[in-house]
Amino acid sequence: MPLHFKTPTYVSASLSKACGRNVSIKLDSLQPSGSFKIRGIGLACEEHARRGVKRFVSSSGGNAGVAVAYAGRQLGIPVTVVVPETTSERAQQTISNLEAQVVVHGASWQEANDLAMSMLDIADAFIHPFDDPLLWKGHSTIIDEIVEDGLRPDAIVLSVGGGGLLSGVVEGLQRHRLDIPVLAVETLGASSFAQSVAAGQRVVLPTIASVATSLGARQVSEHAFALTRQYHIDCAVVSDLQAVDASLRFLDDHRIMVEPACGASLAAIYENLEQIHGWVNIMVIVCGGITSTPEQLQFWKQDLSGA
């Protein structure tokens, strides 16, 4: 039995009204780890457990670490997660509460990842937060469930950080032979994917300057970037304030808490971005996230709006 659950999909009246289109939401915020990450990470951890590994080691800005910690506890395997200094206390505590060891290191995910890689022993398995075919295979089950529910949207909107969710969604679409375009959304201070597409090559951001720290990969994975040459993928970039506002509006509309990284894709709908104007039936992957609270969102809103 997989470590993830099948999540609900339904039409959102509030999002549909905001943009004048039919908008459905795939609620992966309801996964036991609080985000879609458990789909791919759970699959990877189960595979490594069958091979007899003694410890999982991972690097994470938050959500991947929670997913690895959850999987490790379910499978009875110790977990060490290295997180950057930007990872919220809430995320660190959530990982610790799942009985995993948390190590804080570096100003960004890249530095945390370097340390995690240096800690590996022969009996350990490294669980990458986004760049692993096992993860993409696990994340692709989102599309399996959408197909199982009999849905065929005109487009899929999702947030992109390192590119794991994007890679999984495209894998699922290709497996089912569905030609459905994808809109990949980022925040302005973490837009490595959009900048790479514009430049025609992968770029490395000098720093992550966004409250959406879960999007904080300074360089998108090579696989996700390569998909832009094989599949119809558009890009959109929203401000931090738009992402935070969208998270707060979604909380009011649906009583569901998400973080700004997820709010970025919701902002594409609430703000009725130009990129969605050619579509009638839109599916938004509500990827979730555990790094924020309502109080934190309100603080960010006031800070970003200069109130």
The domains found in the chain, sorted by start residue, are: 9-36+134-305 (3.40.50.1100), 38-130 (3.40.50.1100)
Quote the pTM value: 0.94
pLDDT band of 262, cuts 50, 70, 90: very high
Structure tokens at 56: 């999982």
256 vs 99: CA distance, rounded Å: 26
Can you tell me the mean pLDDT for 264-280? Answer: 97
Can you tell me the mean pLDDT for 95-124? Answer: 92
43 vs 3: CA distance, rounded Å: 7
- Is the four-CA dihedral 259, 243, 171, 134 of positive or negative sign? negative
pLDDT tens per residue across span 150-192: 999 999 999 999 999 999 999 999 999 999 999 999 999 999 9
pLDDT of residue 107: 83
pLDDT of residue 307: 55
Residue 194 pLDDT > 90 = yes
Residue 260 pLDDT > 90 = yes
Residue 117 pLDDT > 70 = yes
DSSP 54: S
Reported as half-sphere exposure (CB side, CA atoms, 13 A), residue 110 has a value of 11
Element spanning 272, H or E: none
pLDDT tens per residue across span 36-90: 999 999 999 999 999 999 999 999 878 999 999 999 999 999 999 999 888 888 8
Residue 224 pLDDT > 70 = yes
The dihedrals phi and psi of 82, each to the nearest 5 degrees, come to -100, 125
303 vs 267: CA distance, rounded Å: 18
Reported residue count of the chain is 307
Outline where the chain has alpha helix (H). 13-19, 37-50, 63-75, 89-97, 109-118, 133-139, 141-148, 164-175, 192-199, 222-227, 240-254, 260-270, 294-305
Strands 9-11 and 22-27: antiparallel
* Residue 303 neighbours by CB under 8 Å, 6+ apart: none
Mean confidence (pLDDT) of the chain: 95
Structure tokens at 180: 């459905």
pLDDT of residue 102: 96
287 vs 36: CA distance, rounded Å: 5
Structure tokens at 92: 């660190």
